[in-house]
Chains A and B, each alone.
Chain A
């Protein structure tokens, strides 16, 4: 009785610690990669080649003054960063990071919970993350924040539809909603990966995912040039950091999800499954930074038009064709 509980606690702690480490070093990787894309050097002085920079950043943010705005709604203002941060952490719970292992006579999956509606759980939880942005932007009582919040809610609702539809093709082919089963359905070798059977679905998913996580070129909610900073303009210190940790955590979740759905998750030869999973996830995370360093930002009307008139019909078409093929 005791051993399963201990295994559960260890799994939760390891995955949570791993995710937080990834979040911290994602900020470092982003600064470093973008710096090298722009022929700069990036963080260099704190630790070897700036490797301790994330810790220095965290310490700095923790010791900043925690001020309260005049005229803001205090409860909602303080709640909003948490509402962004926690759903981003929850979603990782259903993603399988490795094969079954046996510890002390107990066989366990390397995931916190093998929900049979795993993928719906991720969509449900990530759809709640939007409240953090909306409430944060509204409660600060500032027009820039409010504009950023309005944009983000419009954008996320629009792109969530395409994101959900782009996954349906994979679900139809795999015949399951459990992420563990989806990984098993593509374990027969590289040609079984859904990226080859769902190429359009893959592109749609990646595009919608970038918009859903508010990253360049779809980072209109926090467009510095026109909105000062967007929904988090009026935040500082650790609350500001929480918005960013939430954003990076959801980037990591989406990358893990893309690796699981389209690149066969943890399956792969020779190397241990966890390493394969991390490699595939890192590929998407690197692409995120690469895209950020390469593409300019969309205009807001272009963004909405692209979402509804290009992405959405394509996703519908992809679903229809896949369903036809699945029946035949």
Chain B
């Protein structure tokens, strides 16, 4: 049951991810990306991390991708506006780096770090586990947490300044 669901969601994630980069129509790419994000949420849910799965859908699929669609709609990007790809260096670099990534992932899976499956700590969706998660965020990972929030604040301020130069 779990394996079947894993295969379905995994395949959906991979196929739609390939669709994201192969479609010429930006709208279609964005929709494929939504499917990818939802499938990844499904993978999280299978592994018992229901809280993360819900957040994945709410934040990525529900909010960020809506903004992506928003931008695509506003700019009214069309299929043919990109033209043929000319940059040769980019393509060779892309192939080399892609192969490196595959190699790296393979090494990690070989090393046993890819021991995927439901986490042994039981169901991650209960409130106690959310309490654990938040206390971890505010103790062990406090620095990273605060730095991230600072980064987001900088991004917001930057966006406002760029948008309203006369402020």
| B20 part of interface (Cβ distance < 8 Å) | no
Q: Find B126's partner among A116, A125, A128, A138 (CB 8 Å cutoff).
A: A116
Do the beta carbons of B27 and A73 come within 8 Å of each other? Answer: yes
Chain A residues, CB < 8 A from B123: 116
Do the beta carbons of B62 and A127 come within 8 Å of each other? Answer: yes
Closest residue to A149 on the B side, CB-wise? B73
Query: From residue A230, how far is it (CB to closest CB) to chain B in Å?
Result: 15
Tell me the chain A residues, 167-225 only, with Cβ under 8 Å from chain B.
175-177
Do the beta carbons of A130 and B66 come within 8 Å of each other? Answer: yes
Do the beta carbons of A128 and B62 come within 8 Å of each other? Answer: yes
| B17 part of interface (Cβ distance < 8 Å) | no
Interface size of B as a range:
20 to 34
Tell me the chain A residues, 118-158 only, with Cβ under 8 Å from chain B.
120-121, 123-125, 127-128, 130-131, 134-135, 138, 146, 149-150, 153-154, 156-157
With A117-B125, A153-B70, A157-B63 in contact, is A138–B27 under 8 Å at CB? Answer: yes
Do the beta carbons of B63 and A127 come within 8 Å of each other? Answer: yes
Tell me the chain B residues, 42-73 only, with Cβ under 8 Å from chain A.
50-51, 53-55, 57-58, 61-63, 66-67, 69-70, 73
Main secondary structure of the interface of B (DSSP, over half): helix
Do the beta carbons of A131 and B34 come within 8 Å of each other? Answer: yes
With A117-B51, A128-B61, A146-B73 in contact, is A175–B127 under 8 Å at CB? Answer: yes
Query: From residue A213, how far is it (CB to closest CB) to chain B in Å?
Result: 16
Complex Cα gap A130–B69 (Å): 11
Do the beta carbons of B57 and A127 come within 8 Å of each other? Answer: yes
With A150-B73, A153-B66, A175-B127 in contact, is A120–B27 under 8 Å at CB? Answer: no
Chain A residues, CB < 8 A from B126: 116, 176
Closest residue to A75 on the B side, CB-wise? B28
Do the beta carbons of B58 and A117 come within 8 Å of each other? Answer: no
Do the beta carbons of A160 and B130 come within 8 Å of each other? Answer: no
Closest residue to A171 on the B side, CB-wise? B127
| A115 part of interface (Cβ distance < 8 Å) | yes
Do the beta carbons of B74 and A150 come within 8 Å of each other? Answer: yes
Chain B residues, CB < 8 A from A150: 70, 73-74
Give the one of B34, B54, B61 with max A CB within 10 A.
B54
Do the beta carbons of A120 and B69 come within 8 Å of each other? Answer: no
Closest residue to B51 on the A side, CB-wise? A117
Do the beta carbons of A134 and B55 come within 8 Å of each other? Answer: no
Tell me the chain B residues, 1-58 only, with Cβ under 8 Å from chain A.
27, 31, 34, 38, 41, 50-51, 53-55, 57-58
Closest residue to B126 on the A side, CB-wise? A116
Do the beta carbons of B54 and A123 come within 8 Å of each other? Answer: yes
Instruction: Give me the interface of B with A, judged by CB distance under 8 Å.
Output: 27, 31, 34, 38, 41, 50-51, 53-55, 57-58, 61-63, 66-67, 69-70, 73-74, 123, 125-127, 130
Instruction: Give me the interface of A with B, judged by CB distance under 8 Å.
Output: 73, 76, 115-117, 120-121, 123-125, 127-128, 130-131, 134-135, 138, 146, 149-150, 153-154, 156-157, 160, 164, 175-177
Other A-B contacts than A121-B54, A127-B57, A176-B127, 11 sampled, CB-CB below 8 A, are A73-B27, A116-B126, A120-B55, A124-B53, A124-B54, A124-B62, A125-B57, A131-B69, A138-B73, A150-B74, A177-B127
Closest 7 CB pairs of A and B: A127-B62, A120-B54, A124-B57, A116-B125, A117-B125, A124-B54, A117-B50
17 of the cross-chain contacts (CB-CB < 8 Å) are: A115-B50, A116-B50, A117-B125, A123-B54, A123-B62, A127-B58, A128-B38, A131-B69, A134-B73, A135-B31, A135-B69, A138-B27, A138-B73, A149-B73, A156-B66, A175-B127, A177-B127
